[in-house]
A and B are shown apart, each in its own frame.
Chain A
Amino acid sequence: MLGIATLVVVVVFLGILAARGNVVDQLGNVWGSFFPPAATSTQGSEIRGLYDIVFLLAAIIFLLVEGLIVFAVVRYRRKPTDTELPPQIHGNNLLEVIWTLVPTLLVLFLFFVSWRTLNDVDRVDAAAPVQVRAVAARFQWSFEYLSPDGKQIQFKQFEPKMFVPVGQKVHLRLQSADVIHAFYVPQFLFKRDVVPGKENSFDFTADQAGTFRGQCAELCGEGHFAMQFTVEAVPPDQFQSWLQQQIDNAAKQSQQPAASAPASGQPPASGQPPASAAPSGQAGATTLALTAKGIAYEQQSLEAQAQAPFTIAFDNQDDGIPHNVDIHDQGGNSVFKGQIFPGVATQNYAVPALPAGTYQFVCDVHPNMTGTLTVK
């Protein structure tokens, strides 16, 4: 019966693979799915090394024990000729000692290798060259870039994108504004809780350039699933010039307060593309109403006239949660980026004239808030 059940699982599985194309490639993919994604940080690579050891041990034990069960089931089924009782064996002390000691040694080995890796990946260097603080709040991430001594905030990035230099150690502090969150980047094979009332920190070194997806991993409420961010690892010189530019921008903005600061008192988002919008009352020819509620746009599609500026009256109804509207063309380039501001509040975004076509609008804070803008 168990054999039939296992067979059904295997047949269904192979059937699904066969229906999708080359079975050998597919099996390779399946094998790969038993492992974490390729690590993109030095600490992540060490964890991956440990994972491979644990996986190997686990696979051997699994095959051994499951094999013994299958052997017993196949070999010792009751036959019609079995009228006599089988030998009534009550136990064997030597065997008990063996199968207590051998697993004990195995788990001790496992403990020691994991302890060694732990000491490497958990080492914190408060004087690391790059100092960042991730601030988690329901339901968004922002990143504060700190001075080298880690004491002063040089500027704050409201968009959930964290820029880091490749090959340089980043000391990341974690701060929560409300409940417990967790900073999790699957490709770093690492997460650490963000606990209110306590500053956790850890170090990581991205060892290749790229964009790595991250997400909150501790349930924090109804918008938990939407609490995403990315880590963008760029070459060190690029990072330095970006950092300097942001620091200069922040300095400029602090010199001209009030005039452009939004009602909420938050500084404007950094890393703006060229067509940044100043919140203003200049209305375009038409006004489109757009409401954000429950970490989603209530209007999934908007329509506007081609080659004519228009206004989006953006109503953010999520209390304390920042949103904005960022319009992307088909190539994924931002053609308009609205100010990020927390609810409950309304802003009018003056959008410049756009050529006819289909655009996507997203919230930069919550990348899974999307809608379609049709310009014709």
Chain B
Amino acid sequence: MATTVLHPPTTAPGYRSGLYEWVTTTDHKKIGILYLVNSFIFFFFAGLLALGVRAELAQPGIQFFAPTTYNELFTIHGSVMIFLFIIPILAGFGNYVVPLMIGAPDMAFPRINALSFWMLPLGGLMIAAGFLAGGGAAAAGWTSYTPLSEAKYMGVGEDLWILGLVLVGTSSILGAVNFLVTIFKLRAPGMTMFRIPILVWTVLVTAVLVLMATPVFTSALIMLFIDRNYGGHFFDPASGGNAILWQNVFWFYSHPAVYVMILPAMGMISEIVPVFSRKPLFGYRAFVFATAGIGALGFSVWAHHMFTTGSVYLPFFSLMTALIGVPTGVKFFNWIATMIRGQLRFSTPFLFSLGFLTMFLIGGINGAFSAAVPVDFALHDTYWVVAHLHYVLFGGSVFGVMAGVYYWFPKMTGRMLNETIGKIQFVLMFVGFNLTFFPMHMLGLAGMPRRIADYSSAAGWSELNLLASIGGFTIATSMLPFLWNIFVSLRNGEIAGDDPWEANTLEWATSSPPPPYNFDRLPPIRSERPLFDLRHAASTVGHAGAAAAPATEPGA
């Protein structure tokens, strides 16, 4: 069997303390783990804020938080969940897995990689520091619509929010450049573009989206900062500015950002579903084109967040929004076709993937309601939208992230996570999630606007809100077995071995955890499933040895 032997660069010898090593590391795997840990810390922080929101809304009346504080809670909850949890944790998985998957020794620019990571905790702490500032944290929502976010209405917390996001955005841009160069230049011999794993494709498209959209958002943030601090009037209609301009530039970034938050999760699901179905991904090329299609269409739908402003051309954005459902549908059918006629193994990563499929489906379908503009007139800015976005970002992305954690934890640590605890966590999370967010559809239809600190007991929203709050605390409970699982498995978990899942992609060809230079030797890469080819080389009828790999391109 032919193998490609790599010559790892010699690393500086000598002893370093563990902490020093982690703080100064430029190893993509350590940086990836730093991303994950950092993101989970912010996840728990923002989750606590959400519990505050649910506690306040559990019954009518103001019980725990003054309205000002309440507005700070949901603002920082949304901002931190999006900018410091979902986006970075997916970047973290990309960091850890992408170089391994394409057979590279590291990212293209290891030091820039470290820089982009270290901007994140700094930016996050600045946003969170708003709670200590005079006037409190930013309270204009994660969307920070002008003029509410201008200096007249918001205090220093808003400036901290802006500066924190500029740092986080810069981190994203640097990370995107790094991913692009890595994927284009560092692929192992034989790893053609149509053999890279789907996760790598989704990271690639995500990087393009980040690179095109984030600078626009960063400019908008700086314009807002100038408005607030240096007498600018970009968004101030009283002085010739335009309040809607902010919404255009904000959503020009933040809608593509939704795909930044979901595409890599789709990529992870596309790795996990075939492995646990024991089949190749159905329609590899269709998947690639669908991903690229979502990326391209993603830039033409931003104004569907602004249907009620009276300032957008409705039919165009309605049409584009409806069309973007098509490539997503293609992916769904491909995932299902992958499972059909397979041999499904219900390990925890696959359970979370099924959670992703069933919940993200609802998040996709209830989005179609808002694509029909007149229906959006009824549903916009109500709890329906809160339900929709959580079905996409929690039911989709977070379930995908959990699937990824359970799937790659053995590779990262060399030990398996406990399956029983994992299943307990899954059930709690799945039930809690639906209990929290499904009733919000009904609340939205019944006319409950989002972002309100209180509602009348006569409005008829009390029971559904109580149900949602019970669900919220159930989700919080599901985090306890998760943390416990990580704690016990790191010490006593079953030893994983190189390839515990019978997986397909290159990261499972090296040891668990991999050495700093990743690979001692690479198997031949003749398809998008080099490890499958290796494992079944002898048993494939009609082929032998290195010729076992299919001669034609997969999916052709």
B343 surroundings in chain A (CB, below 8 A): 76-79, 82, 86
**Contact call A198/B244, Cβ cutoff below 8 A:** yes
Within the complex, the shortest CB–CB distance from B536 to chain A, in Å, comes to: 7
Given known A89-B282, A219-B140, contact A196–B368 (CB-CB < 8 A): no
Partner among B280, B340, B368, B453 whose Cβ is within 8 Å of the Cβ of A90: B280
Given A58-B369, A65-B332, A99-B329: A73 and B449 within 8 A (CB)? Answer: no
Nearest CB in chain B: distance from A111 CB, A: 5
Q: Considering only CB atoms and an 8 Å cut-off, how many residues of chain A contact the other chain?
A: 97
Kindly identify which residue among B62, B147, B427, B447 contacts A37, using a CB–CB cutoff of 8 Å.
Answer: B447
Q: Is A46 located at the chain interface by the 8 A CB criterion?
A: yes
Could you say which residues of chain B place their CB within 8 Å of the CB of A88?
A: 279-280
With both chains docked as a complex, state the minimum distance between the C-beta of B303 and any C-beta of chain A, in angstroms.
13
Whether B145 sits at the interface, judged by CB under 8 Å, is: yes
Q: CA–CA, A152 to B369, complex, Å?
A: 39
With A72-B344, A220-B148, A223-B67 as contacts: A192 and B455 at CB distance below 8 Å: no
A178 at the interface (CB under 8 A from B): yes
Neighbouring A residues of B141 by C-beta, 8 Å = 219
Q: How far is the CA of A55 from the CA of B336 in the complex (A)?
A: 23
Report A-chain residues with C-beta under 8 Å of the C-beta of B279.
86-89
- By beta carbon, the residue of chain B nearest A46 is B374
Instruction: Return B400 CB to nearest CB of chain A, in Å.
Output: 15
A225 at the interface (CB under 8 A from B): yes
User: Does A213 reach chain B (CB closer than 8 Å)?
Assistant: yes
CB-defined contacts of B446 to chain A, threshold 8 Å: 33, 36-37, 186
Nearest-neighbour CB distance to chain A for B443, whole angstroms, equals 9
Q: Are the CB atoms of B365 and A62 closer together than 8 Å? A: yes
Residues of B within 8 A of A224 (CB): 67, 71, 451-453
A105 closest partner in B (C-beta): B326
User: Which of B238, B365, B426 touches A196 (beta carbons < 8 Å)?
Assistant: B238
Interface residues of B in 342-397 (CB under 8 A from A): 342-346, 351, 354-355, 357-358, 361-362, 365-366, 368-369, 371-375, 377-378, 380-382
B residues within 8 A CB of A9? 431, 434-435
Contact, CB under 8 Å: A96 / B284: no
* Count of interface residues, chain B, beta-carbon cutoff 8 Å: 101
Chain A residues with CB below 8 A from B430, complex form:
2, 5
Q: Give which listed residue, B153, B311, B371, B431, contacts A179 with CB less than 8 A.
A: B153
B80-88, B207-215, B314-322: which lies at the A interface? B314-322
Tell whether, in the assembled complex, residue B442 and residue A34 are in contact, meaning their CB atoms are under 8 Å apart.
yes
Contacts of B357 in A (CB 8 A): 69
Q: Is B545 part of the contact surface with A, judged by Cβ < 8 Å? A: no
Residues of B within 8 A of A68 (CB): 336, 340
CA distance A187 to B361 in the complex (A): 29
In this assembly, does A140 line the interface, its C-beta being within 8 Å of a C-beta of chain B?
A: no
Contacting residues, chain A, for B442 (C-beta < 8 A): 33-34
User: Is the CB of A216 closer than 8 A to any CB of chain B?
Assistant: yes
Whether B368 pairs with A110 at a CB distance below 8 angstroms is yes
**Nearest opposing residue in chain A for B320, CB measure:** A111
B344 x A76 contact (CB < 8 A): yes
Q: Does A164 sit within 8 A of B, measured CB to CB?
A: no
Inter-chain contacts of B536 with A (CB < 8 A): 85
Q: Closest CB-CB distance, A97 to chain B, in whole Å?
A: 9
Residue of B nearest to A71 (CB): B340
Interface check A51, CB cutoff 8 A = yes
Please give, as numbers and ranges, the residues of chain A lying within 8 Å of B344 by CB-CB distance: 72-73, 76-78
Residues of B within 8 A of A8 (CB): 427, 431
| Stretch of A113-121, A126-134, A238-246, A353-361 at the chain-chain interface | A113-121
Q: CB within 8 Å of A: which of B215-258?
A: 237-238, 241-244
B280 cross-chain contacts in A, Cβ below 8 A: 88-90
- A307 in the interface, Cβ–Cβ < 8 Å? no
Besides A1-B427, A54-B372, A111-B372, 14 more A-B contacts (Cβ < 8 Å) are A9-B435, A36-B445, A44-B378, A69-B336, A86-B279, A91-B282, A92-B283, A108-B322, A114-B371, A115-B315, A178-B147, A191-B377, A191-B381, A222-B71
Task: Offer 18 A-B interface pairs, CB within 8 angstroms, sorted by A.
Answer: A1-B351, A4-B427, A9-B435, A34-B445, A50-B375, A62-B365, A65-B336, A89-B280, A89-B337, A96-B334, A107-B325, A111-B371, A111-B372, A195-B237, A198-B310, A213-B459, A225-B453, A225-B455
Leading 10 A-B pairs by shortest Cβ distance: A197-B237, A186-B447, A114-B372, A225-B452, A189-B378, A107-B322, A200-B310, A78-B343, A72-B339, A91-B283
